[in-house]
Amino acid sequence: MLANTSQLIKKVLKKFPKLAQKLPEQIATQLFKPQENPSIVCAADDRYAMPLTVAVRSVLANLKIYPQVKLFLIDGGISPKNKEKFLQSLNPKQIDLHWLQPDRSKLTKMKVKGHVSLASYYRLLIPELLPDSLQKVIYLDSDLVVNADIGKLWNIDVGDYYLLAVQDLGVPYVGCPVGLLNYQELGYPADYKYFNAGVLVINLQKWRQESIGKKVINYIEENLEFIRWWDQDGLNAMLAGKWGELDYKWNQQPPIYGYGEPSWKPSPLKKELSEEVCQDIIDNPYIVHYVTSRKPWRYDSLHPRRDLFFHYLDMTAWAGWRPEKPANNK
């Protein structure tokens, strides 16, 4: 009887991942805890070697449910010196590390600009780079810090969704003025939610079965004039209405800090997110994502959680480093 009840609960919660995230931790762990340690994939080039190290170190600093994570690192050209510093920053008992080499020839037509390099598109190659035996993986951008146990995220069942993600606070819907420029041509309603691709729980089985990475690459190549937010636009164009929502705290984004400001008034999210919910996202983030170009390692960053980045940086081989104002910048 109890076994049947448990299966029924799981079936319901698979359809409503946000509801599953509200369960007490002990119950959720018993229901959904996978047998293997969390698998995580990141991608970075040499410019992001230091932020990548901070992100990974923050994961390990908060690891509780599982003793170790398996990290797949897509190497976009990290220098030997920075690889050494990366390795010096980690406890080998907590991490099973695998370096991966991307096939850049598959991404020759992708748009890059400013702080967004080709490494951002490497997530589209994840299914072909990772072992076929792996059914799901957590993808993390390099410009974030994890301030909670990643095991909690790993324990969330991806169900039949292609991925789990957090709605983008700056671009909440595909029909926003800064959303998908061609959402109507794609046949999507304006109120389809648009996700931020910095934190993803990817259903590798479904991605492989339907060649999602390849489809996104093809879409971007054929619709370059409509691409504004790089591969994130491509992912949303292909997976609109097919992804499950994570709690906003799994990808806290800068717009949340402007909730009470006039700039939030025109946002449709103002009607959906209460002041209490917004304050909880601000005060208790699981992951702080430093979206936009003014990253915390820049001298001119004003991010309210900038100090949290340096808290974890000081656990790495870059301990004590702080950005300096350029001499020619008065």
Give residue 43's pLDDT.
98
Are 35 and 69 a contacting pair, CB within 8 Å?
A: no
> Quick check: 2 pLDDT over 50?
no
What average pLDDT does the segment 286-292 reach? 95
Does any domain span residue 204? Answer: yes
**CATH number of the domain bearing residue 228:** 3.90.550.10
Give the pLDDT of residue 3.
45
More confident residue, 161 or 177: 161
pLDDT tens column, 12-24: 555 555 566 565 6
Render the burial of 134-170: b for 16+ CB within 10 Å, e for the rest.
Answer: bebbbbbbbbbbbbbbbbbbbbbbbbebbbbbbbbbb
* Listed residue (28, 79, 22, 27) closest to 53, CA to CA: 79
Number of domains in the chain: 1
Contact by Cβ (8 Å): 124, 3? no
**For the chain, what percent of residues have pLDDT higher than 70?**
84
Range(s) of the domain holding residue 75: 13-313
Q: Across the chain, how many H-helices and E-strands are there?
A: 12, 9
Query: Could you tell me if residue 248 is inside a domain?
Result: yes
Q: Which range is least confidently modeled, 11-15, 110-114, 176-180, 302-306? A: 11-15
Mean pLDDT computed over 195-223: 96
In a domain, 7, yes or no: no
| 111 neighbors 35 (Cβ within 8 angstroms) | no
**Contact assessment for residue 58 and residue 145, using Cβ atoms and an 8 Å cutoff:** yes
Q: What percent of the chain has pLDDT over 90?
A: 72
Say what the pTM is.
Answer: 0.89
314/54 Cα distance (integer angstroms)? 9
pLDDT tens by residue, 27-81: 655 555 667 999 999 999 999 999 999 999 999 999 999 999 999 999 999 999 9
- With respect to residue 148, please indicate whether it lies within any of the assigned structural domains: yes
1 domain residue, yes or no: no
Instruction: Tell whether 318 is covered by a domain.
Output: no
Residue 230 pLDDT greater than 90, yes or no: no
Residue 330 pLDDT class (50, 70, 90 cuts) = low
Task: Indicate whether 8 belongs to any domain.
Answer: no
Running DSSP on this structure, what letter comes out for residue 89?
A: T
Across the chain, mean pLDDT equals: 89
Answer whether residue 118 is part of any domain: yes
